Structure 1
Amino acid sequence: MTRRPTDGRQPGPGGVAERGSGWWFRPVPLARIAVFRTIAYLFIPIDVFLTTAWVSAHAAVPTEYYQPLTIAEYLPLPTPTSTVVHVVQWALVAAALAAATGRAPRLLGTAVFVLYFEWMVIAMSYGKVDHDRIAFLVALAVLPTIGRVRWRDRRSSEAAGWAMAAVFVTVMLTYFLAAWAKMRFGGWDWATGSTLTRAIVRRGTVLSDWTLEVPGLLVAAQWAMLVLEFASPLILLVRSDRARVALVVFLLGFHVAVFASVKIIFLPHCVAILSILPWERLPDAVHALRDRIRRPAGLAVGPAGAAPPG
């Protein structure tokens, strides 16, 4: 019978497996789930009526133009008639608003996932498939696996850790597979071609038009994008709360820069990125801010929280 080394030597395969399991099931504060779940569910009405408002227009499209996604071909999903589209739309919004209250998290969360999945099938079955939805869809799939939680829940949970790890990995894969798709369909010509030039000519802004006048800049930017996307698995090494915040600022900054340059924003993916943040700190921060606002101006508070005697 072999024992694992305890003298500082490198662990064998079993130790590596245990570390991997520890990463996937590293306990996460339930308050993080509670806050992120509220954000995700409240985003859905914004997505339905603003971000993807064009999906409801499929209600007026003849059903013969409907070419379901591959996964939808194996599921008994209804053909998106006008009635189906509008029922899914309003049922999704109602379920999301109800789920945002935190009540019946498994039942309402599952309903939100199923309805949003159908909403995406309706959206992407007419020749246009976006890649910014998968991480958000995974988030909606795993959130119902966590029971009732509250914003100030001090407990930690391995199940919550697994849920957040699944979203984190999918966020990473969104970038990595984007680079893989560039190589698969465009080859190295994607990096050396005029992809960004064409995008800026078509959708450029005053913040990006100047780049057309700098030789080689956009090609260098394309190479940088490929390198960063292929290196995206490295983000899984982030552990500390401070590093997580820095990572989220970097990723969101990248998407804001893309929007400022070519007016393209991946909002559902950005919401999924927010799952990386240590949201369990938010309730205490809000509580402290509220106390500071309510405290009379000029009233000093001692170490024990009481005003010093006059």
Structure 2
Amino acid sequence: MSAHTNPEGGTAATGGTTARRPWPRRAAGAVAGWLAPEVPLARVAAFRILIYAFLVLDVTWVRASVIPHGYVPDLYQPTWLARAVHLPPFGPQVGTALLWVILLGCAAGIATTLWGRWQRTTGWVVAAAFWVWMLNSQGYGYVSHDHLALMVAVTVLPTVGAATLRDGDASQAAGWALRCVQLGVVATYVGSAVLKTLRAGTPAGWANSAVFVWAIMRRGSALVTWTLNYPWLLILGQWALLILEFLSPIVLWLRGRWLYLAVAVFVAFHAMTFAAIGIHFLPTVICWAAFLPLERLPFLARLRRAA
């Protein structure tokens, strides 16, 4: 058997063997495979139900300010994106109608996931309504960066199409949607670390500051007020947080137990901040589920075996 060089730079072997693809194509294929891995459709179906169920909680508790905003339209200062789409302030009646569109859309989204049809239609309705809801909400002051991954999730889930809890087939569309959510989760932490650095001038400038002291004095619970007597401990905590945020992209390449450990660390961190200063970050915490093999949950596995 002999080999010769093909015109594109790869090596082709005679005798029936397949020619090796040029390295740019191999690299592009590897990137595409990473961005859109094949994952079970049941995983994205379970994630879809989780997201739509959480949206109900989000619009009725976490970001429930849209309807009250209708009484003070003069305070509306739209974000760049809201200005780009010419989104005006709206009154409480419109806010109430929008709330019901989201609630009914989420219920329909869960139902269609269980049914196996109309998932794109209900998904796009929920995505559009929730984007309008959030753009209005963010026009009255604080921009919720903890919603980044959630906004990505509601946008990409309709692109997957039909997926049920019983569906064991693998899909690149499902993998791409979940990867987008994963990137949104990681971007939340990296963006936070970068913003801290920009505001303080250097990473050390923020990590050695009194941010934790200020936060605990302002809204700290009895569980952490004792740490004010040990400022060095709070400095260590700030360094740990900054390092954790900068290193968060590593989770995109972890697998198995190491991935589960990383997810547990981040979720535990948010549980600690909620217990310490009342900040929960639930929208991001929910989206960590995009890293997990939800289809392996015992009741879902039994459901597929029974199908």
- TM-score normalised by length of structure 1: 0.86
Distance 2:122 2:105 in 1: 6
Give the alignment of 1:1-310 within 5 angstroms: 1=7, 2-3=9-10, 12-61=23-72, 63-101=73-111, 102=113, 103-188=117-202, 189-240=205-256, 242-282=257-297, 284=299, 287=302
Q: Which residue of 2 aligns with 1:304?
A: none
Determine the C-alpha separation between the residues in 1 that align with 2:54 and 2:75.
29
Give the aligned length: 283
Change (3 A) 1:126 1:12: same
Q: What is the letter of the counterpart of residue 40 of structure 2?
A: P
How far is the alpha carbon of 1:213 from its aligned partner? 1.4
Q: 1:214 to 1:98 in 2, by over 3 A?
A: same
Shift in Å at residue 256 of structure 1? 0.4
Q: Give the drift of 1:125.
A: 0.1
Structure 2 Cα separation of the partners of residues 79 and 137 of structure 1: 20
Offset at residue 283 of structure 1 (A)? 5.2
The root-mean-square deviation of aligned C-alpha atoms, in Å, is 2.1
1:12 CA displacement: 4.3
Does the residue aligned with 1:135 lie in a helix, a strand or coil? Answer: helix
SS at match of 2:26: helix
The alpha-carbon deviation at position 135 of structure 1 amounts to 0.3
Deviates more, 1:169-178 or 1:230-239: 230-239
Residues 234, 286 of structure 1: CA spacing in aligned structure 2 closer, same or farther, 3 A cutoff? Answer: closer
Partner residue, 1:305: none
State the shift of 1:134 in Å. Answer: 0.9
- Is the CA contact 2:42–2:167 (under 8 Å) kept in the aligned structure 1? yes
1:119-138 C-alpha deviation (Å, 9 max, x unpaired): 11111101211110010010
Aligned-partner residue type, residue 228 of structure 1: L
Q: Hey, what's the Cα distance between the residues in 2 that align with 1:219 and 1:13?
A: 46
Instruction: State how far apart, in whole Å, the 2-side matches of 1:204 and 1:153 are.
Output: 46
Q: Provide Cα deviations, 1:91-115, integer angstroms capped at 9, x if missing partner.
A: 1111111111124110110011111
CA contact (8 A) 2:43 2:295 kept: yes
Partners of 1:112 and 1:28 in 2: CA distance: 24
Percent same amino acid at aligned positions?
A: 37
The answer on whether the counterparts of 1:113 and 1:140 sit within 8 Å (CA) in structure 2 is yes
Shift of residue 83 of structure 1?
2.0
Counterpart residue number, 1:295: none
Deviation string for 1:133-159 (max 9, x for gaps)? Answer: 010010000100111211121100011
**Structure 1: stretches of 5+ with no match in the other structure:** 292-310
| 1:78 and 1:84 in contact (8 A); partners too | no
